[in-house]
Amino acid sequence: MIVGRDGFIISQLRLNYTCEMEKAMYAAHGVGYETYGRKHKVRMKIEKVRQQDYLQSQRMIADLDRRVHA
């Protein structure tokens, strides 16, 4: 547990991951799970990108569904 400048408690994530997952994290985001688990700003940046990718994929699926059923 780490106490930040503002008195907020920052806890590190305890992640279980494989070598393949580590390689994929580096390939997709340029950081490893150790950094992802330790640095909140890095984690939030990665999760924001993941959220945007998810929303984009949902829009694409909805668009394809409309085209197929039109």
Higher pLDDT, 68 or 10: 68
CB 32 within 8 A of CB 25: yes
pLDDT digits (tens, 9 = 90+) for 5-59: 666 555 667 878 899 999 999 999 999 998 998 899 999 999 999 999 999 999 9
pLDDT value for 4: 53
